[in-house]
């Protein structure tokens, strides 16, 4: 995983004084899918997001990295309108979804989200987990929804588990079902919140493979992750979050290998120490 250990320890020669010295985040192809401007979120007086900006273009994969509590999960929850914003705007395909009067249920149908702890519905079989939203939200017939669900499950090698209940699956299988469940809505944008953090190390690979395939298919994704190697491989853009702001962003080879910000270097040095890069 480390062909050339990154020169992150100690102050490097290329310390850019200005913030965001790298190329702008709009380098990706295609139109903008998501644009967050000046997002602010507090929890009981504590500022979790502090004027955060983020832009994601179509077919782009953006990896959010940063220490626990830097605001990665909160950002994803805000984008999915699961949290109330305290300032700023969010646009999805040019439409402001943070505007008052917008029906959050309708917005969430266009955004898929996968959680760290899978959050499958334990009382429903795998197939019912996957078909719940297509049937209830998109009003597909049972036959139609199940055909598509089986197709999706088959593609990730879980066709045999369609009738099993979540507690009969391994963590990796559960997380793959959770991703399939989100995909069944044909989302415009997929949010992945540390989807491998709860998994045993030997199960991480199968989930990452699935995300890799999604990227190949052109899915637009924002993923919060601790897997630096994976972020480097799959992301078009890496954003380092610290204290609720994007401190540094750019192509992975730049942010991960030649970070310009002292905070980023500090963080990556700690990660290397923990032997995760």
Partner 1 sequence: MSTVLHDPSPAQQARTAYRRRQTVLSVLIAAASTAAVGTLLAVTVTGAPGWDRVQQTFLDPQLARDALPQVLTGLWLNVRLLVCCAIGALLLGLLIAVLRTLRGPVFFPIRALAAGYTYAFRGLPLIIVLYLLTFGVPGLRLQGTPSVLVLGGLALILTYAGYLAEVFRAGIESVHPSQLAAARSLGLTHRQTMRHVVLPQALRRVAPPLLNDVVALQKDVGLVSLAGPIDAVRAAQIASAQTFNYTPYIVAGVLFVLLAIPLIAVTDQVTLRAARRQSGG
List contacts with partner 1 (CB under 8 A).
77, 80, 82, 104-106, 108-109, 111-113, 115, 117, 119-123, 132-133, 136-137, 167, 181-182, 185
Min dist. Cβ of residue 247 to partner 1 (A): 27
Min dist. Cβ of residue 43 to partner 1 (A): 14
Identify which of residues 168 and 212 has a Cβ nearer to partner 1 in the complex: 168
Angle, CA of 129, 172 and 109, to the nearest 5° = 35
Identify which of residues 60 and 185 has a Cβ nearer to partner 1 in the complex: 185
CB neighbours (10 Å) of residue 196?
A: 24
CB neighbours (10 Å) of residue 81?
A: 19
Min dist. Cβ of residue 74 to partner 1 (A): 13
Paired residues of 64 in beta bridges? 224, 239
Min dist. Cβ of residue 82 to partner 1 (A): 6
Identify which of residues 26 and 186 has a Cβ nearer to partner 1 in the complex: 186
Identify which of residues 104 and 218 has a Cβ nearer to partner 1 in the complex: 104
Identify which of residues 105 and 217 has a Cβ nearer to partner 1 in the complex: 105
d(CA 272, CA 221): 26
Residue carrying structure tokens 């700690």:
270
Q: Is 48 helix (H, G, I), strand (E, B) or coil?
A: strand
Q: 171-183 vs 142-155: helix axis angle to the nearest 10? A: 130
Min dist. Cβ of residue 20 to partner 1 (A): 30
- DSSP code, position 166: G
Judging by beta carbons within 10 Å of its beta carbon (0-12, 13-18, 19+), is residue 178 exposed, middle or buried? buried
């Amino acid at each position: 995983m480390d062909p050339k250990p990154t020169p992150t320890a100690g102050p490097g020669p290329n310390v850019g004084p200005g913030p965001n010295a790298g190329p702008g985040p709009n380098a990706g192809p295609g139109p903008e899918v998501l644009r967050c401007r000046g997002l602010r979120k507090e929890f009981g007086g504590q500022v979790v997001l502090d004027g955060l900006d983020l832009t994601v273009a179509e077919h782009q994969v953006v990896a959010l990295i940063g220490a626990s509590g830097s605001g990665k999960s909160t950002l994803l929850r805000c984008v999915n309108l699961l949290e109330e914003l305290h300032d700023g705007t969010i646009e999805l395909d040019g439409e402001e979804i943070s505007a008052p009067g917008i029906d959050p249920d309708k917005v969430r149908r266009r955004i898929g989200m996968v959680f760290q702890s899978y959050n499958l519905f334990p009382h429903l079989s795998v197939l019912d987990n996957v078909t719940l939203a297509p049937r209830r939200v998109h009003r597909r017939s049972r036959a139609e929804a199940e055909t598509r669900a089986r197709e999706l499950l088959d593609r990730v090698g879980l066709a045999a588990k369609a009738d099993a209940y979540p507690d009969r699956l391994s963590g990796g299988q559960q997380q793959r079902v959770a991703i399939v469940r989100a995909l069944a809505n044909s989302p415009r944008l997929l949010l992945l919140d540390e989807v491998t953090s709860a998994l045993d190390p030997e199960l991480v690979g199968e989930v990452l493979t699935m995300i890799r395939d999604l990227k190949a298919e052109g899915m637009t994704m924002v993923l919060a992750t601790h897997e630096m190697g994976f972020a480097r491989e799959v992301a078009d853009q890496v954003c380092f979050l610290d204290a609720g702001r994007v401190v540094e962003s750019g192509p992975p080879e730049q942010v991960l290998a030649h970070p310009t910000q002292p905070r980023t270097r500090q963080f990556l040095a700690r990660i290397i120490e923990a032997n995760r890069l």
